[in-house]
């Protein structure tokens, strides 16, 4: 009885190994690509449904803090409305949007729009899978952005029609960054306990202040400079240390986002 | 038989979309295939359990960052381990057996993934070994919950299941 089981198990494993071998020879590669292609759309639809369900329950979860937030937001709205009027005037006067478009085309910055189809199955909560891959010109090392060009993560692996993205908030994530006000102030952005971001290796003689805008430095081959990462929230300075560190906050989190742009330099 | 296979393929796809995409949009990825594999192995035909292990392994491989075949091989190995345990040690159809086999399956899957990621990390910097304890714990809790739901649903329709939570 036991010997029969071992024989059957051995035969079963040989069949599986043979199947995997045929894949690496190239015979079954189209099967995986086609399956991925077919599954992409239902996965994307299922993800959107999940997002809608989750946002519905968020209303109940956050109900207690809604009144407090509402008051704070109403106060902010008055200030922002005034700022908005000022900004509109500036934009009209200087034709900023036209200039920016011209700048982007001059710099040859292209973007590929992609949809998030899953949060990844690798055991890491800070990875996502998007529905674009090598076939769309994506490469490992490219960054993804969301609303207003905010950098959210970096591609770590590309399949034919899919790409795996590691979010900036992950402790293993690294990205070269600079300050918008002082381009010589350069550091490394790193995930901080999978929640926020840290800007490390800032030289002590460089001046950095709270609310400073942090952007990509452009020192990485596939990452153009000037993409927004976040703003400085807190600065940590120790007289015994060679470098300063700053905590960076991002205005958006991936949980609110369905569609992202992959920057193709 | 073909009707059964067809129904099971549809069920595998539904579970796949549910845990890979729907659930993962607001909850970290939870592998719900293991309790279902144990369920099919314990209460249904052996062929269907093979279909579940191969189907789940292949579908997870399609979107996995690990080399193709990893999940397929792991699920097939787990199927063989669980089959051996179910034939020789945990032979009764009780909730205890269901829990133990699910726990064993989970432990082996985590062990295989940990082993593979460690080996890959030696050659490729993009593979880091990240395992969140609370995520593993939540996976177990959810798997046990699925076990309870499946067990009592089946118990409602048949009398052959035993509810032994503690040995007598």
Q: For chain B, what are the domain ranges?
A: 2-157
pLDDT of residue B111: 87
Q: Is the CB of A5 inside 8 Å of chain B's CB atoms? A: yes
Structural domains of chain A sorted by starting position, each given as residue range(s) with its CATH number in brackets: 2-60 (no CATH), 110-265 (2.40.10.340)
Q: Is the CB of A62 inside 8 Å of chain B's CB atoms? A: no
pLDDT of residue B130: 61
**CA–CA gap between residue A45 and residue B20 (Å, rounded):** 12
Q: Is B62 or A62 the better-scoring residue by pLDDT?
A: B62
Best of A29, A118, A190 to mutate (most B CBs within 10 Å, chain B):
A118
Sorted by sequence, the CB contacts under 8 Å of residue A186 that are 6+ apart come out as A176, A177, A178, A202, A217, A219
Task: Look over chain A and give the mean of its residue pLDDT values, rounded to a whole number.
Answer: 79
In chain A, what residues touch B77 (CB-CB under 8 Å)? 13
Best of B65, B71, B73, B127 to mutate (most A CBs within 10 Å, chain A):
B65
Nearest to B80 among A12, A122, A170 (CB): A12
Distances (CA, A) of A172 to A175, A245, B85, B130: 10, 17, 39, 9
In chain A, what residues touch B135 (CB-CB under 8 Å)? 123, 125
Q: Within chain A, where are the H helices?
A: 2-25, 29-61, 63-94, 96-107
Say if residues B75 and B33 touch (Cβ distance below 8 Å). Answer: yes
Backbone angles phi, psi at B66, to 5 degrees: -75, 160
Question: What digits encode the pLDDT tens for the residues A196-240?
Answer: 788 888 887 778 888 888 888 888 888 888 888 888 888 888 777
| Strand duo A127-130 + A163-167: pairing | antiparallel
Nearest to A121 among B17, B63, B83 (CB): B63
Sorted by sequence, the CB contacts under 8 Å of residue B110 that are 6+ apart come out as B131, B136
**CA–CA gap between residue A113 and residue B10 (Å, rounded):** 31
Say if residues A46 and B16 touch (Cβ distance below 8 Å). Answer: no
pLDDT of residue B132: 65
Question: Can you say whether the dihedral through the CA atoms of B113, B115, B116, B117 is positive or negative?
Answer: positive
pLDDT of residue B63: 83
Say if residues A32 and B62 touch (Cβ distance below 8 Å). Answer: yes
> Which structure tokens are listed for A247?
């905590």
**Nearest residue to B88 (alpha-carbon basis) of A2, A13, A3:** A2
Q: Is the CB of B73 inside 8 Å of chain A's CB atoms? A: yes
**CA–CA gap between residue A90 and residue A251 (Å, rounded):** 23
In chain B, what residues touch A124 (CB-CB under 8 Å)? 128, 130
Q: Is the CB of B123 inside 8 Å of chain A's CB atoms? A: no
ipTM of this complex: 0.76
How far is the alpha carbon of B44 from chain A, nearest alpha carbon, in Å? 18
**CA–CA gap between residue A16 and residue A39 (Å, rounded):** 22
Cβ–Cβ below 8 Å for B65 and A16: no
Q: Is the CB of A156 inside 8 Å of chain B's CB atoms? A: yes
The answer on pLDDT for A100 being more than 70 is no
């Amino acid at each position: 009885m036991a010997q029969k089981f071992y024989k059957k198990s051995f035969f079963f494993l040989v069949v599986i190994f043979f199947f995997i071998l045929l894949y690496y020879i190239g015979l079954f590669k189209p099967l995986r690509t086609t399956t991925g292609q077919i599954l992409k759309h239902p996965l994307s639809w299922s993800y959107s449904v999940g997002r809608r369900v989750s946002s519905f329950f968020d209303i109940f979860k956050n109900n207690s803090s809604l009144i407090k937030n509402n008051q704070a937001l109403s106060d902010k709205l008055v200030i922002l409305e005034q700022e908005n009027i000022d900004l509109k005037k500036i934009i009209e006067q200087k034709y900023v949007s036209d200039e920016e478009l011209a700048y982007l085309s001059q710099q040859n910055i292209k973007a590929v729009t992609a949809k998030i189809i899953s949060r990844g199955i690798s055991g890491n909560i800070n990875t996502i899978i998007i529905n674009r891959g090598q076939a769309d010109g994506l490469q490992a090392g490219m960054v993804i952005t969301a609303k207003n060009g905010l950098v959210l993560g970096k591609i770590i692996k590309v399949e034919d029609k899919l790409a795996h993205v590691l979010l900036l908030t992950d402790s293993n994530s690294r990205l070269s960054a600079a300050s918008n006000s002082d381009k010589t102030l350069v550091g490394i952005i790193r995930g901080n306990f999978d929640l926020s971001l840290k800007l490390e290796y800032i030289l002590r003689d460089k001046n950095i202040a709270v609310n400073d805008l942090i952007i990509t430095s452009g020192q990485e081959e596939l990452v153009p400079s000037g993409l927004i990462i976040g703003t400085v929230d807190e600065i940590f300075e120790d007289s015994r240390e060679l470098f300063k560190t700053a905590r960076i906050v991002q205005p958006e989190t991936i949980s609110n986002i369905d569609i992202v742009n992959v920057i193709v330099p | 038989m073909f009707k059964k296979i067809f129904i099971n393929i549809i069920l595998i796809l539904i579970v796949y979309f549910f845990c890979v995409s729907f659930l993962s949009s607001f909850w970290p990825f939870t592998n719900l295939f293991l309790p279902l594999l144990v369920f099919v192995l314990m209460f249904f035909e052996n062929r269907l359990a093979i279909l579940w292990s191969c189907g789940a392994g292949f579908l997870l491989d399609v979107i996995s960052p690990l080399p193709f075949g990893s999940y397929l091989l792991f699920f097939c190995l787990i199927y063989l381990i669980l089959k051996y345990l179910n034939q020789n040690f945990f032979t009764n159809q009780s909730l205890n057996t269901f829990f133990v086999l699910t726990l064993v399956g989970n432990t082996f899957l985590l062990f295989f993934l940990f082993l593979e990621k460690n080996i890959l990390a030696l050659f490729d910097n993009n593979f880091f070994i990240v395992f969140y304890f609370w995520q593993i714990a939540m996976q177990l809790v959810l798997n046990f919950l699925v076990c309870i739901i499946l067990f009592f649903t089946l118990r409602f329709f048949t009398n052959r299941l035993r509810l032994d939570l503690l040995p007598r």
